[in-house]
Amino acid sequence: MSEAILYTVKLFASLKEHVGREEWVYEGDVALTAKELLHAFFDQYPDLGKLRIATRIAVNQAFCHEDLSVNPDDELAFIPPVSGG
């Protein structure tokens, strides 16, 4: 049997508030792409609605291609639409 893969993703703003935690942890058997990790999160929290299609993922503090395969050692963060300025 293969070892479980753990992804820990930072949450911000309404994502953090909705989940009630600063991080979300995903446990699975196979490595995921950025897009699959985003889908797994929003599948678990369907009430987040339109944020599903507008949220991006950051890998090691940079936006990444949605097909990028994500490494459990990466620093991961979900970036909902920003509102600085």
Partner 1 sequence: MISVTREPIDTATLDKNAVDPACGAVLTFSGTVRNSHHHHLVKMLSYEAYEPMAQRELEKVVAECKRRWPDLRKVQVVHRFGKMDVTESSVYITVSSPHRGDAFVGLRYIIDNIKKDVPLWKKEFYENGESEWLHPEDGCSPDHLTLREDVNV
Residues near partner 1 (CB under 8 A) are: 10, 12-14, 17, 50-51, 54, 56, 58, 61-66, 68, 77, 79-85
Residue placing its CB nearer to partner 1 in the complex, 5 or 16:
16
Q: Which two tokens stand for residue 67?
A: 């097909």
Give me the least distance between CB of 56 and partner 1, in Å please: 6
Q: Is 7 helix (H, G, I), strand (E, B) or coil?
A: strand
Residue placing its CB nearer to partner 1 in the complex, 2 or 83:
83
Are the CB atoms for 34 and 59 separated by under 8 Å?
yes
